[in-house]
Amino acid sequence: MFDNMFESMKISATALSAERKRMNVIANNLANINTTRGPDGEPYRRKYVVFQTILDKSSDSVNNNFREKGVKLSEIVDDGRPFKMIYKPGHPDADQNGYVAMPNVDMVEENVDFLASSRAYGANLSVLKSSKALVKKMLELLTME
């Protein structure tokens, strides 16, 4: 009985960790929205996260137990969309025609992604709190007997 409660807490904890990392990537994208030249000489390239579901069956197929469950950050990927070309003839990074390659970061897209991530984080936090309250109540009931 308690195993299921703790399992739901572990799953929520993995999701909280994954969403926190996603929010960090989004914050980094927004912080570099005007970075026209990075260490490689190119404009900043937007990054996004890829999640992976963790569902690893153990050898106990009779009880259908699993060793790990949840979600994890699989990788952080560079967005392959082209850079935005903006006409700014006086800019130090402007080409011979006066165009500057700007990062492929869209502020609206990043804000929507951040809102979705924040809501997912909040939902998983609610699940974690509910599981904790249920475990506490079960312990109270067990100690009354």
Q: Can you give the pLDDT at residue 82?
A: 98
Mean pLDDT of the chain: 89
Q: What is the dihedral of CA 117, 21, 108, 103, to 10 degrees?
A: -160
pLDDT surpasses 50 at 6: yes
Give the pLDDT mean for 29-40. 96
Q: Work out the angle at residue 48's Cα, subtended by the Cα atoms of residues 42 and 51, and round it to the nearest 5 degrees.
A: 150
Ramachandran region, residue 3 (left: φ > 0; alpha: ψ -120 to 50; beta: rest):
alpha
pLDDT surpasses 70 at 145: no
Per residue in 59-89, pLDDT tens?
455 555 556 788 989 999 999 999 999 999 9
Give the pLDDT mean for 44-58. 86
Q: Which residues contact 52 (CB under 8 A, 6 or more apart)?
A: 71, 72, 73, 74
Domain boundaries, the chain: 2-144
Per residue in 99-121, pLDDT tens?
999 999 999 999 999 999 999 99
Confidence of residue 141 (pLDDT cuts 50, 70, 90): confident
